[in-house]
Structure formats: C-alpha cells, structure tokens
Chains A and B, each alone.
Chain A
C-alpha cells in the first residue's frame, strides 16, 4: 500500500511537471498579455518596459518557465502580471468560499442521488423510475449557465410581480453581513440558488449511476443467496445490496472533484460569487498567464490527491481490488 502511494505520487509529480511545462508554453506562446497595456493611452513605455523586465518577458520560453518554477516554489506562485499582486494568498481566500459552495452542493447531490437511484432500481420500470429517468435526461441536457440565468430571471420576475424578495441573485454576502450566526445565515441565504443550480446536473448524473450500480448488485448471486436464506427484503437491500452499490459512487465522487471545480467556474461567474472560479475567469479576461498557471496547478494537485484517495478507498472497500 505504502509503495503504491509513493509510486503513484512520484508518477503524478512527473505528469504534473510535464503538464505545467506544456500549459506554460502554450499560454505564453499564443497570447500577448501586454497587448492591452501597449495601446492604453495613459500608460508610458517605461511602465511596459518595467513589466517586461520584472517578468522576464524577453527571455526564451524555457528560461521563462524556469523563472516561473522558481517563483512557484520559493515565492508562492509569484504575483500577477500587471498590478503585481501576490497570487497564492488571494487564491487561498477565494478557495474557502468555493469549498463552502461545492461541499454544500455535493453533499446534497449525494443524498438525493442515492435516494432516487436506489428507489428507481428497486422499483425498476415503475412510474417513479420513468419520471426520474426523464428528469435526469433533462438535467443532463440543460446547460448550467442557462439554468443559473433562468433561476435569476424567475426570482426577479417574482419580485417585480409580487414584491417578494425570495433569494439574493448575486454575491456571497450582504454589504453588511454581521458576524457569527447572522453571518452564516446570510451566507446560506446567498448560497441557495447557486447550490440549487449545481445540484440539478449533479443529481441527474449521479442518480443514473446509482441506479445502474444498484441494479447490477440486485441481480447478483450474493443478493439471491441472501434472499434465499430467508432474510427480510429490507435487510437484504440495506445491508447486502446498498453497501456494495455505494462503493463505485465513492470512487466517482472523488474522481469528479476536478469537474466540479470547473463547473463552479460557470456558476460563480453567473452569480458573481467571489470564489476560485470567478478568480480564474477574471485572470483569463485580462490574459494574465500567472494566476491561470497557479490556478491550474493547484487544481491539478487536488485532482491527483483525490484520485489517489479514490483508489485507496476502493482498495479498502472492495477487497477484490488489490493496490500494487
């Protein structure tokens, strides 16, 4: 097990370094991050020259990559290109907000998806099963950003017609959110709509997956054995079937971590939530390679770690899988 973890971490490090070099080359080669600065009327040539010097923009790309690695390792990913702001402290700050959003959504997704999926599988081809299948197809076919906008439209229309302010449609907190419990109630109120949007696609996908996993288990030999020896159906389902059907879901949830963070880019942009996604989006808007690189690397490290956790969890939960 330990050997497996070490080997995997070493391999992942190599992959990460390679990925970082490729992305860095691509990002620095294809865009001129100073284009906007050069044509800005109120910026002197001296400023442009200073930025070029500070960031070594005149050097060849491999050399610039080494400068970047040096910055990343010794100086917390350095600073942004134009206004020279430190990157990592800012990222840590917004990451907390994103994690609140994503974890809340993901917990709800898992609970609902397991309930729906298991019930669909037990009552296969029942009206409930068909309805759930229909809704999950609908959920998978609906763009996240559009759903977010529609939710905003509906809330605003309700406000205009009835005067009720159901939920805030933007930001993470009020201007003056208060402290302690008040702060968290306000935060929860702001997170209702974004969490709902993230939940729709999540439940649509996971409930299908859960249904399939549960069906596979229900039709397996050991469930037949459990029934044959006269166990009550409830016990067969809860103890023999559900437990085994949950194993693949554990893996999937861990593996999906990266996709979830990417998905938060859209949700955070629409609801202007001050999280990692919006930070990334803003960095892309100004064509600044440094925060983009830092963001991608940190997310990639998290993905690697979560993949490893997924594999270890799978090995622990399913004794048929050996990690070696």
Chain B
C-alpha cells in the first residue's frame, strides 16, 4: 500500500445525520446551467424525493435552484461558519486599511510612554513595547503582513497544485509518476524541518520570499487531492460523451473536469490559508520568517518573548489575533466543506 492510498482508508462519517438528498457532484449542474446548447436548460432543477413529495402535497411549482444555490443554503445553515466569515471579512478590511485605521504608525516611537500596560482610557489600548511603539498599531500592521502572506501562499500553492494535479490525474503516465515520486520524496523528510532549513539557508529578506517558500511546500497536498478527483472523474460518462463529441483535452479539463473539482479545491485552499498563517507565525517566531522592521504576528511575538513573562501583553495580543484568524478560517472551511463537498470528510492530525 502506498502512502497516498491511505487517505481513502480511514475517513469518518461526519456526514451522518445530514439529510440525505440528491447532492451529487458540485458544479456539474451549474455547468449545465449555462445556456449553451439546445439541451442545456437555463436553470437546472435539483430536488430530492422528499422535496418532490412536499411539492406534490402542496401543489406548488418547485423553485428552480442551481447547485451553487444549494451550496449557499447549506453554508448559511452553518451558523458558526457564517459568523466566522463576517469576522474574517471584518479583520481583512481592518488589515487592508491598517494605515488609515491604526492610531499610530507601526514604527512610531513614544519614548515617554515605554512599556505602558494596556488600558481602556489612555492612548494605547494594547499598551506599548520597550521603545514605546503603540502595540495596537503594531498588531494591526502585523496582521496585514500575515494575512497578505497567507493569501499569497494559498493562491500560489493552489495554482501550482491544481495545474500539476490536473495534468497528472488526466494524463497519468510520466507526469503522474513524477508527481507521486516527488510526493514520496517530500513525505520522507519532516516537513517543518525542511521549511526551516529552506528559510534559514535561502534567506527571508522579504515577505514575498517567505510566501514563496511556504507555497513551494504546500502545493503537493492540493496536487494530490486534485489528482484523486480527476482520476475518478476521468471514468465518468459525461467525460466520455465530451470526448465522443470531439472536445479537446484542454476543453475537457477546463470546462468539464475543473468545475467539478472546485468543491474540494476551494475547501482545501481555505484550510491552506489557516495553515499558512500558523506556519508563517512559527517561522517568524523562530527568527526565520518575516524580518524587522516589517511586523508580522509571529515576529511580534518573537520580539516580545524576551520580556514576555513580565510585559504579558507583548505576547498575548498578537497570539490571540492569530488564534482568532485561524479559528475563523477553520470554521469557514468546515462550513464550506459541508456546503460544497459533502462526499469528502476532513481528517486532520
């Protein structure tokens, strides 16, 4: 048994208790919904037997809904995920407009007010550090760096992983073999240690470099997931039909298979954002990530740790911010999985 086969072995049934309805592959119907040929109905109707029975009894026409509408309904049923989504949007806006919102610059010194403790009345809500820099402002700017890195990592690793996974899953053969051998190679070495080594020797002078290093390690997981989905989609009848009607490889991959694998891809991209935030923080904390004067949440904790046991706020606030972001993303990811990907259940260790 090869390591990658294990993923399928032991997956739990998180979905037990979910109303059984006719949710098939996400997006397959959304694809049909595009008014393309004479056969494509403008709006595909999906209804479970229970729904139809209800409709029959009530004597009303069922409302036409696309598969994405169903996904949206399922997502909004997950209250925690919805709340988390709003929290995330709020934090994202604050981070994006940190320059306008933060009361001070991240490197503005207030030498009369060094090591001030957090206070609700005074000028410094989160206190100040050893040089009198306002800690709330530093946390806001740190959040901006961390979120930027995490989003970049998620985007880059998803782009690389999806392309390679799609090619490997569709064509098989040499690309597939290379991908799987490379995965073996990566799986043989302890991931975080490799990351540390890369960061230590390659250098992390700019946030961009940190992001690239993270992305280069994270793409394999997505590639394997996409490959798995493509391998199973390849055998589907509608792909055969597309081939029979003369569609080219690129068209089949981009228009038929990719939309059908969007569910797992979106879910995993979300989880990569959380993973990237945590990993970047750990790297920066160990001194191999974002370098000063750029504040990131991890490097703030690193700079605060020397005095951390006395000036507790230096460690507490950036850390709480990380936890809040990661928690919100994980909840959103959970909601998205329920909504988009009912077949896949998460196994995380």
Contacts and interface: CB of A to CB of B under 8 A. Distances in A.
Contacts of B10: 209, 212-213, 216, 247-248, 251-252
B316 A219 contact: no
Interface stretch (B155-163, B165-173, B200-208): B200-208
A149 B308 contact: yes
A143 B302 CA distance: 13
B243 to A, nearest CB: 34
B13 A259 contact: no
B12 interface: yes
Interface string B137-166: 000000000000000000000000000000
Interface residues of B, number: 60
Contacts of B330: 137, 140-141
A265 B196 contact: yes
A31 interface: yes
B13 A287 contact: no
Interface of A: 12, 15-16, 18-19, 22-23, 26-27, 30-31, 124-125, 137-138, 140-146, 149-150, 152-153, 156-157, 169, 205-206, 208-209, 211-216, 219, 247-248, 251-252, 255-256, 258-259, 261-263, 265-266, 269-270, 280-281, 284-285, 287, 289, 292, 295-296, 299-300, 303-304, 307, 311, 314-315, 321, 323
The 3 closest A-B pairs by CB, nearest first: A212-B12, A248-B10, A141-B326
Contacts of B64: none
29 contacts: A18-B185, A19-B185, A26-B197, A31-B200, A137-B331, A141-B330, A143-B282, A144-B282, A145-B281, A146-B281, A146-B322, A149-B305, A208-B347, A209-B348, A211-B12, A212-B11, A213-B10, A214-B12, A219-B16, A255-B6, A258-B190, A262-B191, A269-B286, A280-B196, A299-B189, A299-B190, A303-B187, A303-B189, A303-B190
Contacts of B1: 311, 314-315, 321, 323
Contacts of B322: 143, 146
B198 A26 contact: yes
A150 B315 contact: yes
Given A23-B189, A138-B323, A259 B349 contact: yes
Contacts of A143: 278, 281-282, 285, 298, 319, 322-323, 326
B290 interface: no
A208 B278 contact: no
A248 B197 CA distance: 31
Q: Which residue of A145, A208, A215, A269 has the most chain B CB atoms within 10 A of its CB atom?
A: A145
A15 B191 contact: no
Contacts of B86: none
B224 to A, nearest CB: 15
A262 B12 contact: no
B274 interface: yes
A145 B315 CA distance: 11
B255 interface: no
A11 to B, nearest CB: 8
Nearest to B2: A311
A213 B190 CA distance: 26
A118 B185 CA distance: 35
B14 interface: yes
B184 interface: yes
Contacts of B188: 12, 15-16, 19, 300, 303-304
Interface string B227-261: 00000000000000000000000000000000000
Contacts of B191: 258-259, 262
B288 interface: yes
